Structure 1
Amino acid sequence: MWIDRKIRQLLRPKPIAIVEACSIGVVSALAAVGLRQSVAWLEAWRLDLAGAFPAWIVLPLIGIVGGYLSGFLVERFAPEAAGSGIPQVKAALGYVPIALDLRVAVVKWLSTSLSLGSGFALGRQGPTVQIGAALAAQLSRWTDTSPTYQRQLIAAGAAAGLAASFNAPIAGVLFAIEELLQDVSDLTLGTAIIAAVVGGVIARTLGGRGMVPDLSQLPIHFALAEIPLFIGLGILAGLVGVCCNRSLLASLKFYRQRFRDRSLAIKIAVAGGVTGILALLSPYALLGTQNLQDFLIVGDINWQIAGEILLIQFVLCWVGFGATAPGGLFSPSLVLGAALGDAIATGLQSCYQAGICPTNLVLSSPTVYALTGMSAVFSAITHRPMFAIAIVWEMTTQFDLILPLTIGSVSAYLVAEQLFPGSIYQHLLTSRGIEIDRPDLAQRRWVGLTAADLMQRSVETLTCDTTISAAVTAFANSSHRGFPIVDDGKLVGILTQSDLSNSQQQDRQTSISTLMTQRVIVVSPQDPLTSVLHLLDRHQIGRLPVVEGNKLVGIITRADIIRVEADLLNSTVSPFKTRPEPSYLVYRTQSPATGRGRLLVPLSNPQTADILLRLAAAIALEFNYELECLHAIVIPPASHPAETEVDLTASRQLCDRATALGKVLGVSVHTQVRVTHHVATTILEVINDRHIDLLCMGWQGKTSTPARIFGNTIDTAIRQAQCDLMLIKLSDKLQLNLPVNELLAPNSSLDALMRLTHLNRWSIPISGGPNSEYALQLLPALTSLSRAPEIHLCQVFAPTQSPPDLHNLQMAADFICQNLDTMPTITPLYADTIATAAIDFATSKQCDAIILGASRESLLQQTVRGNIPDAIARGANCTVIVVRKADRDSI
């Protein structure tokens, strides 16, 4: 007992947290120092080559090669490592499924070394944040921590990485708490502080000084009369920050449009070549980021040189950041701020000497203005003034700078927030469709759920005196698969069906106390949902008793958690009610697994099953997919799926039709019938279990469910399915069935199938983006159902837009010509309402089908001018096919 007590004391959370925080600090610091040294070595090598050989050849060539290798590593091994890295960490901490692990850390380290060493005007601090967070995430997996504690360790790793890069532990903690995690609990704050301090100390010991030169010999002083000048500098810095943020977002959009069909490696290589060419325009651009910053802070320069550096650095940052090259914005923003401060100070000095400024002008050293400008521009870009003040103050260790840093940073922040609300990282996430700073109500309720919110308070229990015979009767009369054992209101054990199965040799009048499991995994009512999920997964159990002390107050089952997010989508359903059990498989047929992917077709309406299967089979043949056909039998919520008797006659007929179609076309078809309470969650179960690549669903063209676009089932699938989606609304003339024996007839089966489809004239509204491209990719398969397809391309423009940009239309036409050997018609349309124009165009061309792409947000949340796919599908009399590509891209 003494040994067991000592072991438990050693394994208490706080000592473990301290050890883990120290380990994270050490590893993050070593990675940061290694990255700093590798970038410095590659920069020196690049400049040596530029001195030994013609610079106009060496610099662009190194930029191209280094950029290509960097992009290749990211694209091939870890797409999550593209760009700065801070948005990825911010999203991961916001419960967005983005990978952070050792693979990401290694690729980020190598790719950042290559990109920065080849001349990109970006910083290593953002990548170091992601590297530290990724290493911390990997450590948390090795030590098997809960998801909540894992987030705290990731934030600590980010803080340690930033502290090691700047030699600024306080700034690292502020950034992790203020920007990333937004949590100031004792454990979170303590873990981040320990990791940041350890990281900062090791980085200072191994890597020397930080990013600012020694200022002990320089005069760091100012007069109170200069406060208006610091305010003016802050205002200008706010304008520069707003301009920088807007231009960076514009550069990302520019690269996405111009390099849409190019790989990431090509895109970064082109940016590297342009960076090398631009570096030739100014000798100061040849300096490394560290040397350039030192030059701006302590160098004797004039306002023309400072302005030149400001302009060139701005353009270089625009070029590199838009290509999503591995590299951050911290160093470029500090250089921009130093250049702005120098330009202001030296410009005022020149005006004073020329007699333009008042004779009583008081002006301190340009170094003070350079450092104030650094803090102010940094504050304007990140919208974190306290972090900006702390980072410059810690790097300089000059307490006298606090007042000008505060004035400049706060002024810049107020201007930037007024003109461009939100930091650049928030806007980067928003541009990818990720909203974590302003989640909707369902998301807030989902993330904030606790065990008390989910548990069933009315719990069926047994006592220690219950006999085995009585327990068997209790299991037979209940849908539960486990009963808590309670003695005097206290939880003493749990009895499961597996425990009873081991009692066949015992007397039926024996007490169940000899069978029950006494070491029970429990949670408290305050435990978050993430901890509940962790325990269920780690111990592979189906239920968790909820206790206060030893008193049983409720129970949580897997079914309660599986249904919670789906129900939260409907605001009229309480998220805390008892959830039904998962679906139960009652019938299955399997064919040989010959395809390279799977296409799921839920079958419900026998009147449309054949044509829906025919369309799905055409795509399966084109992409070498197997067909997975699902029929769900819905039962009342009070019934248990595994214990309810159902009639399989109609279900097996649908499965037989699917199998017969597969034999005719040579497509491998698997079928299954499941008993369920909710069709939508059953579809999601099958998608995960069978690794579905494409979901093909039929739609009636209307819904009776309030607040739903396509209905409960389809809306839930659109929102949560992690696969491609094709939604089909069939016209009345396509609703035709064939007898199974006619499908199996060897001579007439294909002709009979062709009679199912009258899709000869196709209308494709073009809008650009990945979903429109995916619609074009599916078109060759779908038009294989037509003997002589006619394709009409259209794009709707505003009546005031003249001339129209036909680039997307022309690209779509070229794709069709190459893949279908047919010439489509191109028609620009002018209208205020996109849906009406698309429907009228299809009607005028007498089209049989419309196929269009729409993003996840377009279908469910952030529609513009109404929900366009919904409006077209409801208003068109022909067949309408809406496709959505799964969002697998990284930030």
Structure 2
Amino acid sequence: MWHLPLFQRVRQQLLPRRRLAIFEACLIGLVSALAAVLLKSGVGLLGAWRVQQSHLLPAWFVLPAVGLTCGFIAGWLVERVAPETSGSGIPQVKAVLARIPIALDLRVALVKLVGGILALGSGLALGREGPTVQVGAALASQLSRWFPTSPDHRRQLIAAGAGAGLAAAFNAPIAGVLFVVEELLQDFSDFTLGTAILASFIGAVVSRLLGGRSLDLNLALSAAKTSFFLQDIPFYLILGVVAGVMGALFNRGIIRSLSVYRNSLRFSLSLRVALAGLVSGFIVVLLPLAFRDNTGLREILITGEASWSLAAIAFVSQFILTLIAYGSGVPGGLFAPALTLGAALGYLVGVGEHSLLFPLGMDSGLPITYALAGMGAFFTAVARVPMTGIVIVFEMTTDFNLVLPLMIGSVTSYLVAERLAPGSLYDKLLEWNGIHIEKESPKEGILTELTAKSVMQPRVETLSAEMTLDEALQAFARSHHRGFPVVEDGKLVGIITQTDLAKMRDRNLSGDTLLSEITTKNVITATPIHSLSNVLYLLDRYQISRLPVVDGRKLVGIITRADIIRAEANHINVKNASPKPRLEPSYIVYETRSPSIGRGKLLVPIANPETAATLLEMAFAIARDRHYEIECIQVMLVSRHSSPSETTVRTAKSRRLLRQAEVMAKKCEIPLHTQIRVAHDAAQAILETINEEHIDILLMGWKGNTSTPGKVFGNIVDTLIKQAICDVVLVKLAASVETKRQPDKKNNSFPPSPHPPLSPSLHFNSWLVPMAGGPNASLAIKLLPALVTLGKDPKIRLTRVFKPSELEPDMTILEESIRQLIRRRKLSSTVTAEPVQAESVSEGIINLVKTEGYDVVVLGASREGMLQQAVKGNIPEAIASSVESTVILVRGAIKN
């Protein structure tokens, strides 16, 4: 046993789970408290040194210089080592708890700790409570990796770490627990509460024992210094209203500050934080000496030592300084600024009440009471956690005189702020970064929300009612399925399973017996609108593993237990865990226009200079045949964290490539427009172009295979196949064609077509066109007369794959296709129609191409054939990756 790693041995000793959970909660509370004390001590030491130096040396030099230097180092650490530590840290913790894949580990904790000490100790007007929450959560997350556990338990540990961090920072264990259940998890289960309570308690106790009394007002205030009278109630209501208004304004100011930094100050994070430190230093130099210590300023306000003018200056200056600091991305929190602003606001309201009631001989509450109530009210307006706001201030003071003022002010400010700007600031910060957290539904809610239609498999392997018993046995032998629906004219008439077949053998039935005579008639089915809870009930009630889905009597799908499990896991782990920032529209940075004289438009995205010339020749052939204009586009991708309209890009190479396209089009007398778009996603940019320019045909290159899991054609092509509303023509060029026109390496361009107008310069002489009927096959036939002009003396073979079990192939489709070609145009090329026998479509086409050496294969996807099977079985990829020839896949426009 002793060869096991240390943490595994400890884990074995701590089983069962509840004992392990108690140990983990205690350990999380301990390390969170140590981190909180270290952060407080570091900030205090650096801050004290900064204030001391400002008295010894010129303040106008020391304060800006310290802010500039420490801000630069802190920003550099965040930018280079752990970008996740930017800002408060609480939004990142919320995102992780919502299953957003954001890093939260020991690296994050260390960078947040060091960066927070440097930034906050340099005088930036932010707090250490938010960073302490992220550090505690990060340490808990690292612990959950050392002691592997379930995802739900890991979330509870992370939340407990965050609560312990808050409890250690404020010496307020109850507030830490409330913050977990009110803001982070919204979970009141026994296990969550127990873990959070224990971790927060340990964190607060250790913090006190080690001297981390961040706002220990018990020694500074006594109950005699606060008071509450009946006539104070209207003024606490006024305080709540003002705090709500100013809190909503503060939240909007924070978002606006972030946007200004991102849009107007486009340089590195380290320089932005350094600039914030420099500006903050110069501003503090102009303020009274008390403003050089943010914690000391707050204590002056809540001990009644401030004048109304100092309180007013404190509110305005701290408001501005916080916006300057937070917008830069500095690792600092908003709890402390919110408390300071609330104290100043409450102090002003208290002074105002005293000046109104004192001349009337009426008693009034002390300004310090209003300052403390204002802390809770403003904090609530910012974070939208009224219970946490009330308890934080109460635990810091242990003064029962404050309970009613805190409740009145906090509840009022919450209602006002929620009315003016709904939602927590932390949710707004996540949304600003493109992360949207949806409230998690309970499992019953998921089962109620999802329907059979959203989960079922629409492609169902069925057996015909006219099939014999022997044929059914062969079908079961070839398949891994244990049962098949039995259909007649697309309608469900029964179901047959392996158990049924075993019973038939016992009855010694003839092999010629039809399935319609022996299939189970009374089939349990679901409808497309059935909820998953109903589907599960039917599966459990009748102890079956699959359930046919019918619309009327028509079979439209089948659903199994595995489908439900997969859908539920996807709903929880994929839908809510989308890490991708919101995509912004693409932005045109270069554009040329030709006369709009065409009957339609053909879009050609160009990405590879080696294939661009060939794709354009194909586009010119179609455009000449149909009298179309051509829209030629290049897409330049930028980071999803940058705005396409605000990102500087270099377009020199792209413009050279588009100018070569213009030269080719001019020689061929084809109207050609060009544009360069900057976008987050290439497929999105192409779809936007299709919609904006009213494109009729999209023609683009296709590599012929994909390594992307779950994708049929690849990320970009898959999206366009599914969403482009126009005709789509995908071209996988043969290797010989790609190397035929080598690009000029010096200027990234390709040689123009050698013969104006377009001449048959490509070796596209033999064409193979598999046919199975349907609209897409018809579209392929319509394109053929234009495409075959790309070769010399082209020969076209139309073919249909039929299985060996078919006695005689149906030639109707091929004959009709030849008639379409004749009606369409008189072709100088030879057209033949010959079927081919094979077990599968892809096998037949691949063998035919390899045997007879066709230059081009045109896959006109059909209703029952190519396209539908491509989405399910990926036949085009199998053909394109197995043959050396050029492969063209055609998909007709999507009808709205």
Q: Same fold (TM over 0.5)?
A: yes
Which residue does 2:252 correspond to in 1? 246
**In the TM superposition, what is the alpha-carbon distance from 1:362 to its structure 2 partner?**
2.7
Contact 2:587 2:679 in 1 (8 A): no
Q: CA contact under 8 A between 1:252 and 1:323: conserved in structure 2?
A: yes
SS at match of 2:677: strand
CA contact (8 A) 2:75 2:274 kept: yes
Are 2:205 and 1:380 aligned?
A: no
Asked if structure 2 preserves the Cα contact closer than 8 Å seen for 1:379 and 1:412, the reply is: yes
Contact 2:339 2:379 in 1 (8 A): yes
Determine the C-alpha separation between the residues in 2 that align with 1:115 and 1:388.
25
Contact 1:248–1:322 (Cα < 8 Å) also in 2? yes
How is 1:459-608 mapped onto 2 (pairs within 5 angstroms)? Answer: 479=480, 578=562
State the match for 1:433 in structure 2.
434
**What's 1:87 paired with?**
91
Shift of 1:770: 2.7
1:636-693 Cα offsets, whole Å, 9 max, x none, are xxxxxxxxxxxxxxxxxxxxxxxxxxxxxxxxxxxxxxxxxxxxx9xxxxxx9xxxxx
1:184 to partner: Cα distance: 1.1
CA displacement at 1:725 relative to structure 2: 13
Secondary structure of the residue that 1:325 maps to in structure 2?
Answer: coil
Counterpart of 1:367 in structure 2 is: 368
Report the 3-state secondary structure (helix = DSSP H, G, I; strand = E; otherwise coil) of the residue aligned with 1:770.
Answer: coil
Match of 1:514 in 2: none
- Distance change in 2, residues 1:47/1:221 (3 Å): same
Cα distance, 1:429 vs structure 2? 1.1
Matches within 5 A, 1:221-240: 221-240=227-246
Are 1:293 and 2:298 matched, yes or no? yes
Distance 1:455 1:92, change over 3 A: farther
Deviation at 1:771, TM superposition (A): 5.2
In 2, Cα distance between equivalents of 1:81 and 1:225: 46
Counterpart Cα distance in 1 of 2:449 and 2:378? 35
- Is 1:139 the counterpart of 2:174? The answer is no
In the superposition, relative to structure 1, how do residues 210 and 58 fare at CA in structure 2: closer, same or farther (>3 Å)?
closer
Residue 396 (structure 2) aligns with: 395
Counterpart Cα distance in 2 of 1:396 and 1:195: 22
Residue in structure 2 matching 1:871, options 680, 691, 707: 691
Higher radius of gyration, 1 or 2: 2
Q: Which residue of 2 aligns with 1:785?
A: 657
Residue 790 of structure 1, CA deviation: 8.5
**CA deviation string 1:123-150 (max 9, x = no partner):** 0000110000010000001111111111
Which of 10, 17, 24 in structure 2 is aligned with 1:13? 17
Instruction: Tell me the distance in 1 between the aligned counterparts of 2:477 and 2:25.
Output: 51
Q: Give the aligned residue type for 1:409.
A: S
Task: Flag the 1:787–1:856 CA change in 2: closer, same or farther, 3 A.
Answer: closer
**Alpha-carbon distance in structure 2 between the residues aligned to 1:443 and 1:777:** 49
- Are 1:770 and 2:774 an aligned pair? no
Note the C-alpha offset of 1:14: 0.6
Quick one: distance in 2 between partners of 1:333 and 1:386? 16
CA contact (8 A) 2:585 2:679 kept: no
- For 1:184 and 1:23, how far apart are their aligned partners in 2? 22
Report the Cα offset of residue 455 of structure 1: 13
- Secondary structure in 1 matching 2:333: coil
SS in 2 for 1:852: strand
Aligned to 2:38: 34
Distance 2:11 2:76 in 1: 48
- Structure 2: which amino acid aligns with 1:134? A
Alignment of 1:407-418 (within 5 A): 407-418=408-419
Equivalent residue runs for 1:620-659 within 5 Å: none
Give the counterpart letter for 1:22 in structure 2.
Answer: C
1:24 is aligned, of 16, 28, 36, to 28
Query: Structure 1 residues 776, 580: CA separation in 2 closer, same or farther (over 3 Å shift)?
Result: farther
Change in CA separation of 1:138 and 1:789 when aligned onto 2, cut-off 3 Å: same
Q: CA shift at 1:436, angstroms? A: 1.0
Structure 2: how far apart are the matches of 1:411 and 1:205? 36
Note if 1:173 corresponds to 2:177. Answer: yes
Secondary structure (helix, strand or coil) at the match of 2:365 reads coil
The Cα of 1:441 is off from its aligned counterpart by 12
Change (3 A) 1:380 1:42: same
The corresponding residue for 1:206 is 210
Q: Mark the CA change 1:782 to 1:553 in structure 2 (over 3 Å): closer, same or farther.
A: farther
Q: Could you tell me which residue of structure 2 aligns to residue 324 of structure 1?
A: 329
The answer to whether the 8 Å contact 1:285/1:309 transfers is: no
8 Å Cα contact 1:91/1:436 also seen in 2: yes
Change (3 A) 1:255 1:444: farther
Give me the TM-score of the superposition, normalised by structure 1.
0.57
Give the Cα–Cα distance (whole angstroms) in 1 for the partners of residues 356 and 583 of structure 2: 64
Deviation at 1:437, TM superposition (A): 3.8
Deviation (angstroms), 1:788: 5.5
SS of the equivalent of 1:786 reads helix
Runs of at least 5 residues in structure 2 that lack an aligned partner in the other structure? 1-9, 458-473, 483-535, 547-555, 589-599, 621-629, 664-669, 702-714, 717-896
Superposition deviation, residue 476 in structure 1 = 7.5
Alignment check: 8 A CA contact 1:333 1:377 kept: yes
Call closer, same or farther: CA 1:207–1:858 in 2, change over 3 Å. farther
Q: CA deviation at 1:210?
A: 3.5
**How many Å separate the matches in 1 of 2:307 and 2:204?**
35
Q: CA RMSD in A?
A: 5.0
Partner of 2:422: 421
Q: How does 1:844-859 map to 2 (within 5 A)?
A: 848-853=673-678
Q: CA deviation at 1:383?
A: 1.1
Deviation of residue 446 (structure 1)? 9.8
Displacement of 1:99: 0.6
Say whether the 8 Å CA contact 2:168–2:207 is kept in structure 1: yes
Superposed, which structure 2 residues align to 1:737-776 within 5 Å? 770=642, 772=644
Displacement of 1:72 in angstroms is 0.4
* Conserved? CA contact 1:734–1:757, under 8 Å: yes
Q: Name the % identity.
A: 43
Q: Which residue of 2 aligns with 1:129?
A: 133
Measure, in 2, the Cα distance between the counterparts of 1:175 and 1:447: 30
| Residue 9 of structure 1: how far off its partner (Å) | 9.4
Q: How many residues align?
A: 572
Q: 1:150 to 1:225 in 2, by over 3 A?
A: same
- Displacement after TM superposition at 1:297 (Å): 0.6
C-alpha distance in 2, partners of 1:17/1:455? 39
Q: How does 1:805-820 map to 2 (within 5 A)?
A: none
Moved more, 79-88 or 763-772: 763-772
